[in-house]
Amino acid sequence: MNAPSKNQMPSLSIRKHTIAFFSLLLLYIFLYMPLLVMVIFSFNNSRFSPTWKGFTFKWYQLLLENSNILEASLNSLIIALASSTLATLLGSISAYALYQHKHNGKSDTKTKNTILSLMFIVMVSPDIALALALFIFFNLIHINLGFTSLLLSHITFSLPYVITLVYARLKDFNKHIIDAAFDLGATPFQTFTKIIWPLIAPAIISSWFLALTISIDDVIVSFFVTGPDFEILPIKIYSLLKLGINPQINALMTIIFAITLLSSIIYYRFTKEQD
């Protein structure tokens, strides 16, 4: 695999592909420009002007004094941490059960594929449909919209990602290595701690980060399943945005972007280790 692909790799002559390179560059500018603009504007000493009026930290100061936003952020963080942790725990166990699942001593591909398809359906379901379905569901079974409904919803849309990621990792490694560990005298517990865990830990940690980011990013589902007594950040931002331009939002965005960037890098490191 490696040798031919190396041969195929033509020397990167920038001149020959000028247009392609330029377009690619434009794509990345397009992707990062709004983020960059907001980061810069979070330090701009002007409320309305799109031009630079000097450097300031005042929007960050105002943000930190804004108890509404702080409370919503804390709530968001609690939901994100709780839902991603629970989803990762539940999802990893499920993925392992799926991996080990056998019917009459034979690998049961049909059941496995059905379950994986179910996960796929949940992943590709539009947020709005999931949001409405959960909204009605919680209303009908009389779960008050708020912390519990949010937590259950966020676990619901994170779980398939965890199961799919961890299962893919488990499926990747040579199934005989568990046999080998037993053959070399390891107990089931030792086999788990010394072989299985070290091999799936990267997948588990990266799926935890993934669950964390999709939880923090979610607007639509949260919008429907949260209540007035438990306000989370996206809902708070949404109501602020409707009011018009507010540089505090730039400051908030900069902080969130910094956190995303950091966790992305950690995620990238872990997935790279798996290769």
- Interface with other proteins in residues 61-100 (CB under 8 A): 90, 93-94, 96-98, 100
Q: How does DSSP assign 99-123, residue by residue?
A: HH-EETTEE-HHHHHHHHHHHHHHH
Figure out which of the listed residues 63, 119, 145, 151 binds other proteins, where binding follows CB under 8 A.
Answer: 119
Of 7-15, 52-60, 63-71, 77-85, the window that binds other proteins (rule: CB under 8 A) is 7-15
- Residue among 2 and 67 whose Cβ is closer to other proteins: 2
Residue 43 binding other proteins, by CB under 8 A: no
- Residue among 58 and 269 whose Cβ is closer to other proteins: 269
Figure out which of the listed residues 104, 110, 228, 243 binds other proteins, where binding follows CB under 8 A.
Answer: 104
User: What b/e string do you get for 54-92 counting C-beta neighbours within 10 Å, with b at 16 or more?
Assistant: eeeeebbeebeebeebeebbebbbebbebbbebbbeebb
Of 53-61, 62-70, 77-85, 114-122, the window that binds other proteins (rule: CB under 8 A) is 114-122
To the nearest whole angstrom, how small is the minimum distance from the Cβ of residue 9 to other proteins?
Answer: 6
Residue 147 binding other proteins, by CB under 8 A: no
Residue 257 binding other proteins, by CB under 8 A: yes
Query: At residue 233, what is the residue type?
Result: L
Residues 6+ apart with CB under 8 A from 155: 83, 86, 87, 90
Of 52-60, 61-69, 77-85, 175-183, the window that binds other proteins (rule: CB under 8 A) is 175-183
For 107, phi then psi, to 5°, come to: -60, 130
Rule CB under 8 A: which of 207-226 touch other proteins? 213, 216-217, 219-220, 223-224
Residue 160 binding other proteins, by CB under 8 A: yes
Burial of 232 by CB count in 10 Å (0-12 exposed, 13-18 middle, 19+ buried)?
buried
To the nearest whole angstrom, how small is the minimum distance from the Cβ of residue 67 to other proteins?
Answer: 20
- Residue among 61 and 114 whose Cβ is closer to other proteins: 114
How many amino acids of this chain bind other proteins (CB under 8 A)? 115
Residue 33 binding other proteins, by CB under 8 A: yes
- Can you tell me which residue has the tokens 């935890």? 208
Strand pairing partners for 107? 102
Helix ranges restricted to H, the chain: 2-8, 18-41, 58-65, 67-100, 109-124, 127-140, 147-172, 176-183, 188-191, 197-217, 220-225, 233-243, 247-274
Round to whole Å and give the CA distance between 275 and 6.
18
Residue 52 binding other proteins, by CB under 8 A: no
To the nearest whole angstrom, how small is the minimum distance from the Cβ of residue 63 to other proteins?
Answer: 13
